[in-house]
Structure 1
């Protein structure tokens, strides 16, 4: 069963809209001033395209025993059942770094896992297998903290949606 980041299209669309808006505004300003020519128009288009490339998120997908991150130029893939290290890189944007026995390495935003339960399930199931096999040497604590956070958020969402349901669990017409 294949799982993917359900919010990727929305974020990719936002990146495109930001890039187009920047290029459009800069071009409109030049047209308004009467200074738009071929080189300046190309410059604004390149600037807008660069913004799209910077803002476009990696597409995260997972299946039985693997997790992949497809960026702009290439896809990176790890075998989740052969993970050796799981690290959390904190900074401006927290990242989860996964490394496997074959040398594969994937970096992803932990929020993607929290927002996509199927992705989390594939990673968690694979990491459990890696732990049972004895190949996961670093990161069990990081994974446990992430599991607690994701499961806690899921439980809060479930309870809040149950609280908003009418009595009896069925909708009234």
Structure 2
């Protein structure tokens, strides 16, 4: 009768409060448009080749459409945002959020495209493209602020070298942009 429902709190329930001063990846919309263009170009090319060879059928057209959709899903970028003490990546299937002020690990995953894997003390993890941080100084500032706090608190046990390399890369890119803008290339 007076049964109270218990709400389960996930490990990420200890998140930093959402603040109104969150920053977002300002290149995200352009990256989505690029993904649409690539998928559209592939679909157009496949349909034209099929039509030109005289082998076009409805089923083949649907197959090419499915292939173009698959390419779009692979190329679809995550929308990265950050605030005071947190960083999040929203993808098609959900949002992942990590506390940057409680990071325990920052790893660089090499492969076809380089990825940065962030893990916090609560077990949450976020995977982002390091270029997002390079191209968005405000995101980098928020991330570095939290990572510095985690390192000062002794939580960040793995990833100091990765952070130094990323900071050096960002400094290099910023200096090149300043030289380019001032005509001192």
For normalisation by structure 2, the TM-score amounts to 0.81
Q: Which runs of 5+ in 2 are unaligned?
A: 1-20
CA distance, structure 1, for counterparts of residue 28 and residue 47 of structure 2: 28
| Greater mean alpha carbon deviation, residues 22-31 or residues 78-87 | 22-31
CA distance, structure 1, for counterparts of residue 181 and residue 37 of structure 2: 32
Q: Which runs of 5+ in 1 are unaligned?
A: 165-173
Alignment of 1:1-173 (within 5 A): 1-163=21-183
CA distance, structure 1, for counterparts of residue 180 and residue 32 of structure 2: 29
**Number of residue-to-residue matches in the alignment:** 164
CA distance, structure 1, for counterparts of residue 115 and residue 137 of structure 2: 18
CA-CA distance at 1:72 after TM superposition: 2.1
CA distance, structure 1, for counterparts of residue 95 and residue 54 of structure 2: 44
Change in 2 beyond 3 A, CA 1:65/1:53: same
For normalisation by structure 1, the TM-score amounts to 0.86
SS at match of 1:156: helix
Change in 2 beyond 3 A, CA 1:44/1:134: same
Deviations 1:111-140 (A, max 9, x none): 211111011001000001111222111111
| Greater mean alpha carbon deviation, residues 102-111 or residues 22-31 | 22-31
CA-CA distance at 1:70 after TM superposition: 1.5
| Greater mean alpha carbon deviation, residues 98-107 or residues 18-27 | 18-27
CA-CA distance at 1:71 after TM superposition: 1.8
Q: Provide the alpha-carbon RMSD of the alignment.
A: 1.6
Deviations 1:17-63 (A, max 9, x none): 11112222222333334433321221111111111111122221111
